[in-house]
Amino acid sequence: MSAKEIITVPDEILKKISDPVEKIGINEKKLIDDLFETMYVSNGIGLAAVQIGILKRILVVDVSTKDEKNQPIVLINPVITNLSDDTSVYEEGCLSIPETFIEIERPKICEVEYIDEKGSKKNLECDGLLSTCIQHEINHLDGKLIIDHLSKLKKDFIIKKISKIKKNPDRIVV
């Protein structure tokens, strides 16, 4: 297991659609371990394989709090099968868009069909933060980012800001 570098905007790979996983072998299991390691080291609650440069439909989530035992979930080839009409709004951050938080309204409850790391087909109905997190990560697999919910002007501003931070990482941002 090793933490990987997280790709940030404006890298074009983040806009690409990830490929379905055909079989779960040694490489996929190592990728899942690396995703969890990277997510935990970065204090994230979700991470998609594309965020470390691998275009496979694999994502990991863990929305447990500091006081709870970790509750890691692996979703391979996830497909949202149902979304509620009720919505909720969360201020979402993204490890690929550092220091940026955007209020996004999403369906409160989602049902997702996926394969777990053992190859078993699963269904999960989730709501609240877990629902939001899974929808966010599946968006990554489809090449969509939280800044895609914004106007072009705001989106360009954020990308420019992050590009400056990348060029000058020692700069203090307040």
Indicate which residues carry an active-site annotation.
137
Q: Which tokens sit at 117?
A: 């790391």
d(Cα 132, Cα 155) in Å, to the nearest integer? 21
> Cα dist. 150→56, 144, 161 in Å?
26, 12, 15
> Cα dist. 160→8, 45, 146, 154 in Å?
12, 25, 16, 10
Of 17, 116, 13, 9, the C-alpha closest to 61 is 116
**DSSP code string of 29-44:** HHHHHHHHHHHHHTT-
Please list, in sequence order, all residues whose beta carbon lies within 8 angstroms of the beta carbon of residue 105, skipping any fewer than 6 positions away.
Answer: 87, 88, 89
DSSP state of 19: B
